[in-house]
Chain A
Amino acid sequence: VFSLFKSITAGRVITAESIGPVMEKMKEHLITKNVAIEIADKLCSSVTGKLDGKTIGTFSGIQSVVKSSVEEALVQILSPKVRIDVLQDALKAKEAGRPFVVTFCGVNGVGKSTNLAKICFWLLENGLRVLIAACDTFRSGAVEQLKTHTCRLSSLHPPEREGGPPRVLLFERGYGKDAASICMEAVNFARQQRYDVVLVDTAGRMQDNEPLMVSLAKLIRVNSPDLVLFVGEALVGNEAVDQLVKFNRALIDFADSSDQNPRSIDGIVLTKFDTIDDKVGAAISMTYTTGQPIVFVGTGQTYQDLRTLNVQAVVAALLK
C-alpha cells in the first residue's frame, strides 16, 4: 500500500489534499481486510483531520506518518474503555450469595450456543458451578444441542464425590414456551440450588425482525442479567455495524418507559476467528460501532478454542 507513495516525501506541512491519495489507498486497504466501508471511511477522515496542518520532520515520509496515525487509531478503537472481568464479577456475585447471569444474543448461526458452551467450560475450569438456561425454544435441535454440551462438560467435570451436586446442569422447558419466563425460572432455580453462574442461550434473530427483537428486549428487561453479550462472527461484512446498532437500539427502545437507564450490550463475543485468515476487519467494525469491548474471541469448535483479543496482532494483520 505504502510503497506506491514513496515519491511524496518529507519536510512540509500536511494538508488534507496532500494526503488524500494515501488515505484513499488506506481506506481501500482496510476494506479488503473486511472493515465495513462506512467505518473505514470514518476512520480515515478522522485521521486526516488529525494530521491536517501538522508538520512532518525531514526524515519521516508521509506514508509512515499516515501509517502510524492509522495504527494508533486502530489500537485505540480496539482497546477496551471498560474492562470486563467475567471471572472476578462472577466471584463477587457468589460472595453476595446470588448467581451471576450472562445472556448471549445475536443473529442466526453465529455461534451463540457453541461459545456459550466454551465459556461454560472455562468457568468450570475455574471452579464455578454453572447452570445453562435453554431459552432458544424455537430452532429445531437447539435444546438437544445444549443437552449434548452439558453432558460432555459434565463428564469432563464430574461431581466432586459420588452423589455430589452436579457442577453443570441444563435448565430446559422444551420448545415453544416463552423464553423470558424460562430464563426467570432458571435464575430462581440457580439461586435455590446455589449455582454460581447462569448462562442464558437465546434464539438467533435478524436485527430487523421487530417481534423477535421485542421479545429479546423483554427477556433482558424482566431478568436484568449481569452481562449482555452480543455474539457476532468475524466472517460478517458490512452488516456488522447494522447488527450491533439495531440490537443495542432494540434493548433501549423496548425497555420499560420508566427505566431511566435502560440496558444495552455490555460486550462482544467475536466468533469464527479461525475462518478468516488476515481479514480481521470485523473486529474494528464492531468495536467502532458500539465502543463495547470484545470480551472473548472464538477460534474453533472445541471447548479450548476461546481467547481474549490480541489487539497488537489484530492491528498488525490489518495493516499488513
Chain B
Amino acid sequence: MVLADLGRKITTALRSLSNATVINEEVVQAMLKEICTALLEADVNVKLVGRLRQNVRDAIDFEEMAAGLNKRKIIQSSVFNELCRLIDPGVPAWTATKGKQNVIMFVGLQGSGKTTTCTKLAYHYQHKGWKTCLICADTFRAGAFDQLKQNATKARIPFYGSYTEMDPVVIAMEGVEKFKADNFEIIIVDTSGRHKQEESLFEEMLQVSQAINPDNIIYVMDATIGQACESQARAFKAKVDVASVIVTKLDGHAKGGGALSAVAATESPITFIGTGEHIDDLEPFKTKPFISKLLGMGDIQGLVDK
C-alpha cells in the first residue's frame, strides 16, 4: 500500500508508548524522534516536521497531567491530530457534476507525470460513462502532442491539439470551445511542465487558466521529490487556483511523504495516486480512510478531536 512504509514506522513508534512501563519526558522524546525521522525519510518538509514535533510537545504537560488521566491516550491522540493536519487540508475534494461541462486543467513541474495522468484520468471518467476528451496545450515539449495523441488514440478518447499553433492559450481556448459545443462533460487540458524560477512560464500558466476558466486545477507531483517540493507547490498555488493534488510514481520505492508538503502548501486534498505507466494505473485517494488505514488502528480514530 502507498505510503504504507511511513504508516508502519509511525505505528511502531506510537506502540512504543504502550509498551513503556512509565511514560515520562524521555519516552515521549524517543517516540517523537522516531516519528520525525520516519517523516523526514519520506521527504516530508523539514519545517512541517518541526511544527509537528513542537505541537505535540506543547500539547503534553507532564506536570499538569493528573495521575488518573491516561497519558498514553492523550499523547497518541495528539500525534494523530498532527498527522491528520499534515494530510488533511480540511476542504472537501472537488467532484465533477454530471450533465455539466467540467473543465479540468493539469499543472506541475517538468516530467512529473501530467500528460500520462491526463489520459489515465480521462480513461477513469470514460469508464464510468462520462463523455470525456483531452486537449494538448503543451506546445513547448518536443513530441508532447504525439504523446497525448498516441495515448488518447489507444484509449479511444477524442482529443484536440496542433502541430503548428505555438500559443498554448489559443489551443486551450479553441479546444475547450469545440468540446463544449459538442457537449463533452469532462474536458481535460494538459499543459507544459514549468517551475517557479521561470516567471514567463508561470505567466503562461495563468493566461491559459484565465482563458479557459477551469473548474478544477490539478497539481501533479512526483512521489520522489525532496525538500524543494514545498516551495514549488506553494508557488503554483499562489499563481493559479490549484484545487487538487495527484501524486504519481507511487509504484516505485518512494514513500511519497513530499505529497504531504504539497497538500499543506496548496491547501488541496490528494484525489488520485498514480501507480504505474499504464492507463489503468490510477487509484482514487480518500484522505480520511487513508489516515485510519495508515495508522491501522480503528480505536485511535475515536480519539480525534476529543
**Chain A residues within 8 Å of B, Cβ to Cβ:** 28, 31-34, 36-38, 107-111, 113-114, 117, 138-149, 152, 206-209, 233-240, 242-243, 246, 272, 274-277, 279, 281-282, 301
Contact = CB atoms under 8 A, between A and B. Distances in A.
Contacts of A237: 43, 224-227, 229, 258
Contact of B146 (A113, A117, A144): A144
A274 B201 CA distance: 13
Interface of B: 37, 40-43, 46, 109-113, 140-151, 154, 195-198, 222, 224-229, 231-232, 249, 251-255, 258, 277
A206 B142 contact: no
A209 B225 CA distance: 19
A151 B177 CA distance: 33
Given A107-B252, A139-B147, A279 B228 contact: yes
Given A208-B252, A238-B43, A272-B111, 16 more contacts: A28-B46, A34-B228, A108-B111, A108-B113, A109-B111, A114-B142, A117-B142, A141-B145, A234-B228, A235-B228, A235-B229, A237-B43, A237-B229, A239-B43, A277-B228, A281-B227
Q: List the 8 closest pairs (A to B, CB-CB), nearest first.
A: A237-B226, A141-B147, A145-B143, A109-B111, A144-B146, A237-B43, A148-B142, A140-B150
Contact of A140 (B42, B142, B151, B258): B151
Contacts of A139: 147, 277
Given A34-B227, A37-B40, A239 B252 contact: yes
Contacts of A31: 40, 46, 227
Contacts of B154: 140
Q: DSSP class of B's interface residues: helix, strand, loop or mixed?
A: loop
Given A34-B228, A237-B227, A111 B253 contact: no
Contact of B111 (A148, A233, A274): A233
A148 B142 CA distance: 6
Nearest to B154: A140
A246 B253 CA distance: 11
Nearest to B119: A140
B143 A208 contact: no
A142 B143 contact: yes
A109 to B, nearest CB: 3
A239 B253 contact: yes
A107 B154 CA distance: 24
A282 B46 contact: no
15 contacts: A38-B41, A107-B249, A139-B277, A140-B147, A141-B143, A143-B143, A145-B147, A147-B143, A152-B142, A235-B229, A238-B255, A272-B109, A275-B228, A277-B197, A277-B228
Contacts of A28: 46
Given A34-B228, A275-B197, A279-B228, A109 B222 contact: yes
B224 A236 contact: yes
A276 B37 contact: no
B225 A236 contact: yes
Contacts of B109: 235, 272, 275
A176 to B, nearest CB: 12
Nearest to A117: B142
B168 to A, nearest CB: 15
Contact of B227 (A32, A142, A243): A32
A242 B141 CA distance: 29
A310 to B, nearest CB: 17
Contact of B112 (A37, A109, A143, A277): A109
Contacts of A146: 142-143
Given A207-B253, A238-B43, A272-B110, A107 B142 contact: no
Contacts of A111: 110-111
B46 A32 contact: yes
A274 B147 contact: no
Contacts of A279: 226-228
Contact of A141 (B110, B150, B198, B226): B150
B199 to A, nearest CB: 13
Q: Which of A32, A138, A141, A237 has the most CB of B within 10 A?
A: A237
Contacts of B150: 140-141
Nearest to B114: A109
A108 B249 contact: yes
A38 B37 CA distance: 10
B130 to A, nearest CB: 22
A275 B232 contact: yes
Nearest to A280: B228
A144 to B, nearest CB: 4
B43 to A, nearest CB: 4
Contacts of A276: 228
A145 B146 contact: yes
A242 B277 contact: no
A237 B143 CA distance: 28
A242 B232 CA distance: 24
A47 B83 CA distance: 34
Contacts of A272: 109-111, 195
Contacts of B144: 141
Given A31-B46, A109-B113, A238-B43, A37 B37 contact: yes
A78 B142 CA distance: 32
A290 to B, nearest CB: 17
A39 B243 CA distance: 35
A282 B110 contact: no
Q: Which of B112, B154, B197, B222 has the most CB of A within 10 A?
A: B222
A211 to B, nearest CB: 13
A108 B277 contact: yes
B110 A301 contact: yes
B48 to A, nearest CB: 12
A175 B277 CA distance: 15
Contacts of A141: 143-150
